[in-house]
Amino acid sequence: MSSFLTFPNGRSLERGQSATGAAAPPRWSKGSGYSRLVQVLRLALPVLAVLLFLTVALWRDLIPNPQLIGLEDSALPASEVDELTMIKPRFDGLDEDGQPYTLTALRANQLNEDGDVIFLESPAADITLTSGRWVAISATGGTYFREEERLHLEGQVSLFQDDGYELETSAATINFASGLVDSDAAVAGHGPRGEMQAEGLTVAEQGDLVELKGQSRVLLLPQTAGNGSL
């Protein structure tokens, strides 16, 4: 529906039409503002995308990433850089009689490029004997020769057998393949059948044979049923 304005001279003018007869210019509206904003964003977004791409591409040069710094910039000693460190490693194997053994540690450091010589922190070994008994050995530290299946223990070395015997020494070598335990350090032990002290010892034949070295002292208790062998 059209509306008209009437002037004193009798001339009528329709709304939206100027006095000269031309259409009146459109007034500003929310719709026209939105259209202009869309046009601005169409021009600005490609420019922002290019700037973002250049920022990401140049970021490594502007702010170096510490994780990408080369080894030559590391504060670690060269010996630690060359070593491969393993956390809580586990080694499983079988001796010459097919009995299983397990060797674990708190941490292991590879000492050579081949990876067959490994330093172990807080090593612990569990050995199953042919008789069904087991032996647990632990130490402060040790070096494991993987190809030879040989472990050299040092520090506080403890050997515990499930029938109640325990030995303490400061150094010992275990050959997992043959089941031989050898020590040239002072050793002390105790169990159900008595106590012993010696300058060293050798344990062979799956624990059935214990040979004391150097000056030795053995205190045997009367044997009772169920006692094992020292």
- Tens digits of per-residue pLDDT, 104-153? 999 999 988 777 899 999 999 999 888 788 899 999 999 999 989 999 99
Highest mean pLDDT among 9-13, 54-58, 113-117: 113-117
For the four alpha carbons of 219, 222, 227 and 228, in that order, the dihedral sign comes to positive
Highest mean pLDDT among 9-23, 59-73, 154-168: 154-168
Q: Give the lowest-confidence range in 91-100, 108-117, 132-141, 221-230.
A: 221-230
Residue 1 pLDDT > 70: no
Query: According to the 3-state scheme, what is the secondary structure of the chain?
Result: CCCEEECCCCCEEECCECCCCCECCCCCCHHHHHHHHHHHHHHHHHHHHHHHHHHHHHHHHHCCCHHHCCHHHCCCCHHHHHCCEEECCEEEEECCCCCEEEEECCEEEECCCCCCEEEEECCEEEEECCCCCEEEEECCEEEEECCCCEEEEEEEEEEEECCCCEEEEEEEEEECCCCEEEECCCEEEEECCEEEEECEEEEEHHHCEEEEECCCEEEECCCCCCCCCC
Please give the structure tokens belonging to residue 175: 């050959």
The larger pLDDT score, comparing residue 92 to residue 23, is at: 92
Q: pLDDT averaged over the chain?
A: 76
pLDDT given at position 123: 96
Task: Give me the phi and psi of 95, to 5 degrees please.
Answer: -85, -175
pTM for this predicted structure: 0.59
- Report the pLDDT averaged over residues 39-49: 68
Highest mean pLDDT among 69-73, 137-141, 220-224: 137-141
Q: How far apart (Å, rounded) are the C-alpha atoms in residues 24 and 15?
A: 9
Q: Give the lowest-confidence range in 14-28, 169-183, 208-222.
A: 14-28
Q: Give the lowest-confidence range in 24-33, 142-151, 158-167.
A: 24-33
pLDDT given at position 99: 86
Residue 37 pLDDT > 90: no
Q: How far apart (Å, rounded) are the C-alpha atoms in residues 176 and 202?
A: 14
Query: Residue 54 — very low, low, confident or very high, per pLDDT cuts 50/70/90?
Result: low
- Do the bridges between strand 134-138 and strand 187-191 make them parallel or antiparallel, or are there none, so unpaired? unpaired
Residue 77 pLDDT > 50: no
